[in-house]
Structure 1
């Protein structure tokens, strides 16, 4: 039986602070004050495109981010401060964190992620045998087994990769 489509989205340099050139860091979010981090903007186009993608996936979407405790607290505060959950239709509990990029593979496997948007090629290498649809977000080029998505305007096309008839909302099945 085919899995229900499920979307995974990285936070740094995808939802927030990007896309940046390879090697660039989002210094305000990472190194600025807590107030500066909260005030920093979302990536251009995320509020216009991501709600439609989440709807196309029937609400089955998760933020999967690699960070330490300090950035995790900032990320959660930023999501609340910008009413991100309400604005894009992501359930509040659908945020996962890990300490190493390769550990995103574990989350993808556990959640049954079928489509993943991330700006790091090392993440895509780690999830290659787990997630069939992989999107490298930003200006960097990647190998043929990952699809480059330059920005959120291009990311709108991801909904075309959802198998036909699999976009219905997630609802509990009665037994």
Structure 2
């Protein structure tokens, strides 16, 4: 054992994540490619992921770098405060799978990661969303699931009009 002090201080002991999964699915009458694009093109994502239906007052800058390891930053105004939703893309497999982490203002919200799977059948695509919720931060995953159900409902409504 070494008794010398590290010049970097003590290592931070972060508690291990206790992940639980919450899933939802929806069938949407569009191609998998079109649905996939709605998750990655900032203008489209801003229209269904954020807005009045989510309690947001407005949507600001929307930036992303679409590649595995690439980052996204979406700025919204919520109750007069600027919130930056950000994360990193873990998996990009167009048009089948997408996985990314989720932070708000650089902080964990309980939602550790979002995974989507798309299965096209004829003129429709089945969207499956799996939310990985950290139980150490969010005891009850239902509010997080309800937010994403609302988002997916808005996404489906927008695409049904296209």
Q: Place the TM-score, normalised by the shorter chain, in its bin.
A: 0.3 to 0.5
Q: What TM-score do the two structures reach when normalised by structure 1?
A: 0.31
* Larger-Rg structure: 2
Scaled by the length of structure 2, the TM-score of the pair is 0.32
